Amino acid sequence: MQGLVLVDKPAGPSSFAVVRQLRSRFGVKAGHAGTLDPLASGLLLVLLGPATRLARYLVGLDKRYETEIRLGLRTTTGDGEGEVVEETPIPPLEEIEALEGEIELRVPQASAVKIEGERAYKLQRRGVAVEMPTRRSTIHELRVARYEPPLVALDLMVSSGTYVRAIADHLGGHCRTIRRTAVGPFRVEEADEERVLAPLAALVSLPERGLNDDEALSIRQGRPIPGDVKGPVALHFAGHLVAVAQGDGRMLKPETVLPAA
C-alpha cells in the first residue's frame, strides 16, 4: 500500500491528527506534504507507505486559498482566536486588489511553523510570547470575491510557505475563515479519503520518462542513465513509478527510488 490521498480537512483537528487517522486506517506509515493549521480547512495531501519519500516534490507547489478577513482589527494571532491589539484604517478596494507580487510577511504565531522545535500555535495557546520570523512570499493572484467593509472575501493563489493570516495582518485585519482549495494541480473537489492515488499520479507536476528493462534495473541499482532533462523527472516502467531522478542535461541520477511494485 503506497500512494497519495487527497483529504478535505475540517477546521479544528491538526494535520498530524488527520495523518494519524489515515495511518491507522491503512496500516502503513503516513505523512503530509504541507501542513494546514488547525483553524484552516481544505485540501491536505497525505502520502502513504514508501510514497512518503515523495513529499519533497509536493511541498513546494503553489497553493490556492479562500479567506474572509475582518478589516480594521489586528489580533495577536492573525485570526479570531487572538486578542485585539490594534484598530486600523480600513483599506480601500483598490489597495487590496493591488496586493500582488513579492512581499515580506511576518509569520503569525498561530501557525504550524516550529520555533525551537515546537509548533508556534502550541506556544501561543500556552501564552508563550515569541518573536516570529518574516518570510518572503509571492502572491501570484488576488481576486476580491466580496468587499463589504469591514469584511472582505479573497481568493488567493500564493507561493508555498505563504501564511494567509499574514496577508490579513498586512491589510490591518485578521482572518475569520481560511480554506485551502488547491495545491498545485490537485483540487479540494477531488478529495476522497477512501481513494489512494498511485505514486506516479502524485507527481503529475513533474516531467515524466518511461524506462526500458535495462534502464529500470540501472535506476533501481542507483546508477544514472543518459537523459537531457534538467531538474527532477519521474521515471516509470510498465505504468509504475520507479524513481525520481535529478537531471543535469546529460544524465539522470536517481534521487528517490521506490521499492518494486
Q: Looking at 8, 37, 79, 169, which residue is catalytic?
A: 37
Residue 213 DSSP class: H
Decide if 154 contacts 145 (C-beta within 8 A): yes
Residue 242, strand partner residues: none
Residue type, 36: L
Whether 37 is a known active-site residue: answer yes
Which cell goes with 4?
497519495
Count of other CB atoms within 10 angstroms of residue 172: 17
Residue 115, strand partner residues: 118
The residue among 181, 184, 145 whose CA lies nearest residue 33 is: 184
Decide if 186 contacts 63 (C-beta within 8 A): no
Q: How many residues does the chain have?
A: 261
Chain-centre distance of CA 98, in angstroms? 24
Decide if 155 contacts 146 (C-beta within 8 A): no
The residue among 202, 196, 167 whose CA lies nearest residue 183 is: 202
Residue type, 253: K
For 173-212, the DSSP string reads: -EEEEEEEEEETTEEGGG--TT--B-HHHHTTTS-EEE--
Provide the 3-class DSSP secondary structure of residue 147. strand
| Residues labelled catalytic | 37
